[in-house]
Amino acid sequence: MVSEILATATAIMGTAMGASVFLQALKIIKRKSSADVSLPTYFVFLVGGILWTLYGMDIGSYPLIIANSVGVLSSSAVIFFGIKYKKK
């Protein structure tokens, strides 16, 4: 039972952590600037999220798959909008 509670809490918190990166994407969109954002940091998050998602798929862990898939999407959004609104 403790293991099930921990798995659920991990999935919820992991998903929230991944989704929180969308806040940075929204800030970039609102300001129409990514001047203060380190895009390489989000690229590292993206690669890590992809690897963790693949690992989750390999071991059949839905908490890892769900949480890291959200992280991949949000990191991708930051990178996309960061490049779109990068000052030239």
For residue 14, the domain's CATH number is 1.20.1280.290
In angstroms, rounded to a whole number, what is the distance separating the alpha carbons of residues 6 and 60?
16
Does residue 76 carry a pLDDT above 70? yes
The domain containing residue 77 runs over which residues? Answer: 2-84
Does residue 63 carry a pLDDT above 90? no
**pLDDT for the residue numbered 50:** 97
Does residue 88 carry a pLDDT above 90? no
- Count of the separate structural domains present in the chain: 1
Which of 54-58, 61-65, 67-71 bottoms out in mean pLDDT, i.e. has the lowest?
Answer: 61-65
Q: What is the pLDDT of residues 2-61, one digit of tens each?
A: 888 988 888 899 899 989 999 999 999 999 999 889 999 999 999 999 999 999 999 999
- The string of DSSP codes covering 41-84 is HHHHHHHHHHHHHHHHHHHT-HHHHHHHHHHHHHHHHHHHHHHH
**pLDDT for the residue numbered 29:** 95
